[in-house]
């Protein structure tokens, strides 16, 4: 914490950039002011870039804290930079102006400067020579990456190469990275930053036909109930809580927190005529399904919605694909399964979940029971890791079923969305389905005995030797994966074989070929800071990040397109990720990756995508400051209920388990272990 006693005021001549927070899914609006050190604005409105009289007014969005200011260096010149919340943006200006969390309020402290803690950024490409990372030029580094790909493909085809890439660091970068991987290389071995395969994070939602960002923040202000599952909203999704949910609650909405932890959000819910359902860890699917059972028993289900929007014929569901065929249910099948399952009787569910039966019934009444005029309550369902990173399919399907049962989608004050995590910056740039369909070596056996090809678990393929060159971008798998220790040991062992003794291209190729032939692997790490994975890397590619050089795009949790301005240079010779992918692709012979800017990538994708389904994504105008919904399109969609039977291992109650539940649990384990 800084104890500085002053901050400089930006002069009217300061450069001004509109951008969005570098952190969480809320996607708050920010502004950046940049001007040479030595110049300063004055405290009167006509003397500064904010146009305000200092001191700034409380809640007015124009206070500058010492953490919002930093000094950077470019070409030997020093510049003041202030990164502050935008005081005119619908995301973080509802109850107060320019609201921000502790994270957003200190973005300036993350900017690169040789004078502060960010000085350990990666600045030059490096190759491990004789066991030690040595700086090399970009040409040598890119040739080496292409060579590693070639050597791996010579030995194991496209399956010899694996890529692990973030899902969030701007659509232009993920588009370029996946184009390289699925189009140029054609490999099926792809993992996201938080999971080892190209699988959905909320399989139950997606396969029920629900889009996982189906609301506007404003809906929480109009809702009757805001149900928050497995997430801490004040601490982790602060501004949706402070600027939106709170307004809804002040207006009479009932907050419900479903979480094994007692946190701020639980206290808040209890203190505001709401509920905290403090369930036993891992029992979400039982709790949510017993709520569904009470709704069904009382006849509170939203028949109109179910008739209009869910698939009524078994054959229609079967046509949707193997997942729906395996797990999808018509309403009648779902109803029968829920009513037949003794664990879902509130009294039995109470024993398993630790939630009293009367609370299960009250919650069901809150979200299900129509009022005396037949009006149905409007509920917004928000969930996050606590729900989905456990029994991913079961939990997300159980919640998805409740959304369908109550018809909580498509009307003001109702909806569903993720309640945390990063902003969404993933655009697929290559034919992933083809690469997986043609080359994946992983299958799933359905209950009909059908062998279905599925996206491979890349971590497993790093461990079992199938992947010979692993390109890891912007994540640290040897420090955070499932079964991390085993993965780290495999990476250590498989990268420790023959080492090049000079930076000569032939010598590099010789050593790596020898290593691969001995069962080893070459590791490329494309990063902004050295991390644990970097310790094992053969090639290190330094990347630029938020605010550096390129303009970028991604979406927030209500599908609002956020635009990010590049306002400063990156450290040393670091390059934007898209440019690094473009250089590798061209080195490997691609002729359609020679983009001149991130904007060209955005246009390439947007033009292609605009004619098809946009999943209801929406855009802001070019300044990024005002919302518009002009580009909203609806996808043709139909929904289906899903089997969401609870996993026995976590349940204390030991009643009769149906044959179906045992079967499906075993099988869902196999598909969702990577979720």
Contact footprint for another protein (CB under 8 A): 1-9, 11, 37-44, 47, 53-61, 63-68, 96, 98-102, 105-106, 234, 238, 242, 264
Q: Which is nearer to ligand SF4, 156 or 221 (CB)?
A: 221
- According to CB under 6 A, which one of 10, 41, 104, 675 is a site residue for ligand SF4? 104
96 binds, among ligand SF4, another protein, none (CB under 5 to 8 A by kind): another protein
Beta bridge partners of 329: 641
Q: Which is nearer to ligand SF4, 103 or 314 (CB)?
A: 103
Q: Which helix (H) or strand (E) holds 220?
A: helix 217-222
DSSP helix/strand/coil, 432: helix
The minimum distance between CB 637 and ligand SF4, in angstroms, equals 28
Q: Which is nearer to ligand SF4, 247 or 503 (CB)?
A: 247
Supply 3's token pair: 């104890």
Strand bridging mode 126-129 / 132-135: antiparallel
Q: For tokens 């030059």, what's the residue? A: 124
d(CA 634, CA 611): 12
64 binds, among ligand SF4, another protein, none (CB under 5 to 8 A by kind): another protein
Nearest C-alpha neighbor of 71 from the set 36, 28, 30 = 36
Helices (H), 518-638: 532-535, 577-587, 598-610
d(CA 464, CA 493): 12
100 binds ligand SF4 (CB under 6 A): yes
151 binds, among ligand SF4, another protein, none (CB under 5 to 8 A by kind): none
Q: How many residues bind ligand SF4 (CB under 6 A)?
A: 13
Q: Which is nearer to ligand SF4, 242 or 668 (CB)?
A: 242
Q: Is 318 exposed, middle or buried (0-12, 13-18, 19+ CB in 10 A)?
A: middle
Q: Which is nearer to ligand SF4, 228 or 239 (CB)?
A: 239
Q: Which helix (H) or strand (E) holds 316?
A: helix 314-319
The minimum distance between CB 120 and another protein, in angstroms, equals 22
Q: Which is nearer to ligand SF4, 28 or 180 (CB)?
A: 28
The minimum distance between CB 618 and ligand SF4, in angstroms, equals 17
Q: Which is nearer to another protein, 4 or 313 (CB)?
A: 4
Site for ligand SF4 in 44-73 (CB under 6 A): none
One character per residue 5-34, x = contact with ligand SF4 (rule: CB under 6 A): ----------------x-xx-xxx------
Supply 45's token pair: 């409105």
- According to CB under 6 A, which one of 65, 71, 103, 389 is a site residue for ligand SF4? 103
CB 650 within 8 A of CB 281: yes
DSSP helix/strand/coil, 525: strand
Q: Could you tell me which residues come within 8 angstroms of residue 552 by beta carbon, excluding any fewer than 6 positions away?
A: 170, 171, 172, 173, 425, 546, 563, 564, 566, 598
Q: Which is nearer to another protein, 53 or 73 (CB)?
A: 53
The minimum distance between CB 103 and another protein, in angstroms, equals 9
Q: Could you tell me which residues come within 8 angstroms of residue 399 by beta carbon, excluding any fewer than 6 positions away?
A: 204, 205, 229, 284, 288, 381, 383, 387
239 binds ligand SF4 (CB under 6 A): yes
Q: For tokens 């080496």, what's the residue? A: 144
d(CA 25, CA 237): 7
63 binds, among another protein, ligand SF4, none (CB under 5 to 8 A by kind): another protein
The minimum distance between CB 394 and ligand SF4, in angstroms, equals 29
The minimum distance between CB 558 and ligand SF4, in angstroms, equals 12
- According to CB under 6 A, which one of 238, 335, 582, 674 is a site residue for ligand SF4? 238
21 binds, among another protein, ligand SF4, none (CB under 5 to 8 A by kind): ligand SF4
- The torsion angles phi and psi of 447, rounded to 5 degrees, stand at -65, -20
Measured at the alpha carbon of residue 415, what is the angle toward residues 409 and 420, in degrees to the nearest 5?
145
Q: What is the dihedral angle through the alpha carbons of 438, 442, 444, 445, rounded to the nearest 10 degrees?
A: 90
The minimum distance between CB 32 and another protein, in angstroms, equals 17
5 binds, among another protein, ligand SF4, none (CB under 5 to 8 A by kind): another protein
177 binds, among ligand SF4, another protein, none (CB under 5 to 8 A by kind): none
27 binds, among another protein, ligand SF4, none (CB under 5 to 8 A by kind): ligand SF4
Nearest C-alpha neighbor of 518 from the set 562, 583, 465 = 465
Interface with ligand SF4 (CB under 6 A): 21, 23-24, 26-28, 92, 100-101, 103-104, 238-239
């Amino acid at each position: 914490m800084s104890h500085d006693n002053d901050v400089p005021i930006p002069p009217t001549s300061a450069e001004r950039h509109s951008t969005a927070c570098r952190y969480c899914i809320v996607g708050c609006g920010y502004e950046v002011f940049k001007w040479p050190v030595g110049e300063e604005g004055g405290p009167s409105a006509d003397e500064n870039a904010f146009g305000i009289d200092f001191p700034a007014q409380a809640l007015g969005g124009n206070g500058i804290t010492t953490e919002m200011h930093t000094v950077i260096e470019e070409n030997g010149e020093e510049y003041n930079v202030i990164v502050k919340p935008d005081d005119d943006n619908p995301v973080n200006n509802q109850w107060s102006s320019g609201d921000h969390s502790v994270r957003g309020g200190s973005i300036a402290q993350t900017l690169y400067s040789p004078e502060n803690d960010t000085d350990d950024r990666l600045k030059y490409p490096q190759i491990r020579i004789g066991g030690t990372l040595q700086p090399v030029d970009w040409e040598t580094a890119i040739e080496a990456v292409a060579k590693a790909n070639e050597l791996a493909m010579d030995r194991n085809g496209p399956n010899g190469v694996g890529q692990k890439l973030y899902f969030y660091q701007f659509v232009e970068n993920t588009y370029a990275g996946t184009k390289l991987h699925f189009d140029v290389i054609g490999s099926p071995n792809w993992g996201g930053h938080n999971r080892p395969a190209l699988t959905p994070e909320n399989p139950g939602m997606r396969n029920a036909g629900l889009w996982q960002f189906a609301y506007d923040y404003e809906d929480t202000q109009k809702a009757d109930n805001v149900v928050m599952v497995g997430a801490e909203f004040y601490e982790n999704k602060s501004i949706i809580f402070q600027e939106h949910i709170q307004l809804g609650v002040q207006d009479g909405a009932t907050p419900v927190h479903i979480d094994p932890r007692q946190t701020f959000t639980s206290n808040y819910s209890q203190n505001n005529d709401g509920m905290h359902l403090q369930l036993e860890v891992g029992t979400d699917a039982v709790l949510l399904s017993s709520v569904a059972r009470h709704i069904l028993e009382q006849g509170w289900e939203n028949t109109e919605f179910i008739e209009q929007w869910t698939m009524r014929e078994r054959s229609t569901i079967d046509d949707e694909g193997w997942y729906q065929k395996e797990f999808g249910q018509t309403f009648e099948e779902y109803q029968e399964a829920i009513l037949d399952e003794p664990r879902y009787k509130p009294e039995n569910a109470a024993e398993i979940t630790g939630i009293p039966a009367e609370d299960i019934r009250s919650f069901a009444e809150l979200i299900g029971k129509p009022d005396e005029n037949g009006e149905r309550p409007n509920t917004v369902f928000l969930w996050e890791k606590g729900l989905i990173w456990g029994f991913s399919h079961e939990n997300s399907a159980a919640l998805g079923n409740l959304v369908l049962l109550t018809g909580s989608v498509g009307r003001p004050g109702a909806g569903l969305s993720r309640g945390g995590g990063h902003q969404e910056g993933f655009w697929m740039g290559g034919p992933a389905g083809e690469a997986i369909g043609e080359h994946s070596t992983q299958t799933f056996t359905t209950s009909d005995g059908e062998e279905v090809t599925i996206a491979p678990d890349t971590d497993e393929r790093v461990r079992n030797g199938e992947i010979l060159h692993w390109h890891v971008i912007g994540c640290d798998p040897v420090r955070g994966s499932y079964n991390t220790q085993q993965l780290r040991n495999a990476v250590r062992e498989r990268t420790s074989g023959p080492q090049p003794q000079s930076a000569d291209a032939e010598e590099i190729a010789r050593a790596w070929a020898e290593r691969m032939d001995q069962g080893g692997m070459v590791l490329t790490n494309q990063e902004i800071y050295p991390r644990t994975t970097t310790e094992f890397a053969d090639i290190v590619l330094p990347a630029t990040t938020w605010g550096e050089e390129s303009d970028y795009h991604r979406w927030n949790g209500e599908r609002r397109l956020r635009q990010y301005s590049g306002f400063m240079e990156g450290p040393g010779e670091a390059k934007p990720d898209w440019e690094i992918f473009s250089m590798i692709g061209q080195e490997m012979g691609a002729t359609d990756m020679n983009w001149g800017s991130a904007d060209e990538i955005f246009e390439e994708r947007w033009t292609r995508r605009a004619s098809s389904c946009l999943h209801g994504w929406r855009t802001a105008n070019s300044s990024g400051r005002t919302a518009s919904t002009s580009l909203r399109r609806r996808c043709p969609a139909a929904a289906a209920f899903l089997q969401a039977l609870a996993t026995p291992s976590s349940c204390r109650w030991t009643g009769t388990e149906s044959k179906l539940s045992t079967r499906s649990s075993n099988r869902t384990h196999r598909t969702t272990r990577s979720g």
